[in-house]
Chains A and B, each alone.
Chain A
Amino acid sequence: MNQLVIVPAYNEAEVIRKVLTGLKSQLRKLGEFEIVVVDDGSTDETYQEAKKANVTILRHPINRGLGGALGTGLYYAKQKRAKLVVTFDADGQHDPKDIAKVISPILKREADVVIGSRMMKGAKKIPWDRRVIIWGSNLVTRLLFGVSTTDSQSGFRAFSRKAIQNIRIKTQEMEVSSEIFSEVRRLDLRVAEAPISVIYTPYSRKKGQSNLNAAAVLARLLLRLAR
């Protein structure tokens, strides 16, 4: 199995099983995929719930943040010499039906990194304060890394073998989203975007990146660059 779906999860016991079931039924139509949950030191029943879905689970003994979890997933993919990786949020905000669209540029060898963008269609559905954050993050991404994207913070992405083998994740938390773009720039990877729908539920809003957090993420990102 050389195609992976990485699902980073931290305290998602409430929804993870449903998300995994949804993923599985869609993936069956798309070929053979291995689902890899990275349980980032959850303190609830996330691990037990994911186990019931009969998927590969990489379990962090302590919480390391989104960057740490994605890094682990990508490292696993690299070891397995995967030819395709999809990252998919565990909180149920993504629609598994969009996977076909997100992986298509990779399968056609048109891109190495595909961003599933929440802003390309139905952006109106995204709460306005969140839209401001996304817009600001896109601006920072363009200023710092010279990559234009409509949704730099999206957790729904696809990576080609070249990207998987070469991208190195060093950040631990939400700034990983920006780090991926700095890697895109460093490695001169081809980027494409695919429109995805977003399912904002009270649950996923509560779990997502909080607005105030954005400033802290930016500060850490700048510290990294200034080192």
Chain B
Amino acid sequence: MNTPINPKSNRMPVGSVQCDNTTLNLLKANDFVAKAIRERLPDMLVINVCSSPGSGKTSLMQETGRRLRDKINMAVLVGDPETDRDAIRMKEVGINALQIVTGGMCHIEAQMILQALDHIDLTGVDLLFIENVGNLVCPAAFDLGEDIRVTLLAATEGDDKPKKYPRMFLTSELMVISKSDLLPYVPFSVEAVTKDAREVNPTIEVISISSLKGDGMDEWCEWLVTKVNEKKTSQVAI
């Protein structure tokens, strides 16, 4: 056994001990910034899109932008540990996109969003997607000032994920089952995954889509248009 370099001297309090019971939130810095983002974007729907790497977030953004071009003014902030490839992919199909390079970090924090807002033109934008870093663990803990969190789960990933990554599915309003065109070829049960997801989050909605073949894309786009309108109406009401 190595001796610790700085062994504790066991400075037991002599005499009296003062004890302060408190609740000092350790994510308060992030939550404070998230609140500032909400206040800055009062009439824009902000959706935080989470998933594992490679489950089809960018393809879904591309296809959504193509389908909703005439209905909704959409922009995307896309986070990756390195490279601006995803932003380039989206700009290629005419989507207003900005890359956030997290410098190796496995999630986006609210501060990165706040800084990014100064570098993208959001004039007239109704719907801002934040495409999070591919990871089902850490992004779940960081509020980015979004209105809605959506989690993608690809048919190829297996239907056991909601129970393995409960916090992500617990905090999502919608689970999108992506690559649904592959469902006939993989052991993935939409029924089983829906049951598991609803044991973690009884109110989670489920939509199956294929960005490649177009299945379910109408339902997804309608869902988005409804949510964008709900956000606008709620602002008029205030």
Task: Answer whether A and B are interacting partners.
Answer: no
